[in-house]
Structure 1
Amino acid sequence: MGAAVKYDEVEVGQEIPGVDYRVRRLDLVMYAGASGDFNQIHWNERFAKMVGLPDVIAHGMYTMAQAGRFVTDWAGDPGAVVDFGVRFSSMVVVPDDDRGATITVSGVVEDKLPDKRVVIGLTATSGDAKVLSKARAVVQLA
């Protein structure tokens, strides 16, 4: 975790450089245990393909969590996020190989609010697909 971002140091339109988050099948199995979501589409390739998916897919909430991690890492304070929401727009397909999949998250400061809060618009992609849409976080800065 870096130093906390200060409100006076950010400007509307400021870009927050993208970060890549690797996703492997093991990550999905561990997330299933933590979340209690053991749906077979998240770990069983045969089942996922049987129900018409291209392969195992990441949990939507796992994908959302990577975007949340991006914001808290940027802010330098895990408690800084006061509001966070996304819509799921595409799947993160996770092949069974050493590379897995990659979720790339980037952001832009969309607004500065009173009380040292900022609105961050987020972009999350995997491959050529935008996997989150209408992704926004309101962050309390120092």
Structure 2
Amino acid sequence: MTRPPTTLSLGQQLETKRIGPITQTDIVRFAGAGGDFNPLHHDHDYAVRAGLPGVISMGQMQAGMLAAWVADLVHVEHLLTYSVRFASPLSIGEILELGGTVEAIDSTTSTATLALHAKSGDRVVITGGAQVRIMLPQ
């Protein structure tokens, strides 16, 4: 049985979620699940030689966290499209804040366009967007 769509309104700020601080264990678990064993994600000295302050997480890790968050908010069966753009790396010890805004509503198709982001402090780590099915306000 499909859950009813969520009611959203134009300009609405979506409820934020904080994740972290990010640990080496978080990164290693994601590497194991996804098979990404690039040394940038587990070898501090290698990451520093590459010009980074230390180990960074995979961009797909933050993208997955953002996707899970928006899917929980709107119910996964109403998530029609999802896209991201990687803006900056996320390091061990940082806290990720997920959020977004309702950018547009199409009353003809009962859909909303969401602008999404993942930030660490004031720094944007990922920007994204989603198209979701919604319940129009009565």
Q: So what's the TM-score if we normalise by structure 1?
A: 0.84
- CA–CA distance in 2 between the matches of 1:4 and 1:29? 37
Residue identity in the other structure for 2:16: G
The DSSP-based 3-state class of the residue aligned with 2:14 is strand
Residue of structure 2 equivalent to 1:18: 16
The DSSP-based 3-state class of the residue aligned with 1:115 is coil
- CA–CA distance in 2 between the matches of 1:4 and 1:32? 35
Distance 1:49 1:19, change over 3 A: same
How far did 1:141 drift? Answer: 3.2
Alignment of 1:8-87 (within 5 A): 9-22=7-20, 23-75=22-74, 77-87=75-85
How far did 1:137 drift? Answer: 0.7
Contact 1:5 1:74 survives alignment (8 Å): no
- CA–CA distance in 1 between the matches of 2:36 and 2:83? 20
- CA–CA distance in 2 between the matches of 1:127 and 1:41? 22
Task: Kindly report the root-mean-square deviation, in angstroms, between the aligned alpha carbons of the 2 structures.
Answer: 1.7
Runs of 4+ residues over 6 Å off in structure 1: none
Which digits, 9 at most, give the CA deviation of each residue in 1:8-28, with x for residues without a partner? x32110111211011211111
Within the candidate set 64, 69, 87, 1:89 is matched to 87
Q: Does 1:107 align with 2:100?
A: yes
- CA–CA distance in 2 between the matches of 1:45 and 1:79? 40
- CA–CA distance in 2 between the matches of 1:34 and 1:116? 36
Within the candidate set 108, 111, 123, 1:129 is matched to 123
| Structure 2: runs of 5 or more not aligned | none
Identity value in percent: 28
Q: So what's the TM-score if we normalise by structure 2?
A: 0.86
Which digits, 9 at most, give the CA deviation of each residue in 1:72-120, with x for residues without a partner? 1211x223221111111111111xxxxx221101111111123322111
Which digits, 9 at most, give the CA deviation of each residue in 1:41-79, with x for residues without a partner? 11111111121111111101111111111201211x223
- CA–CA distance in 1 between the matches of 2:85 and 2:10? 23
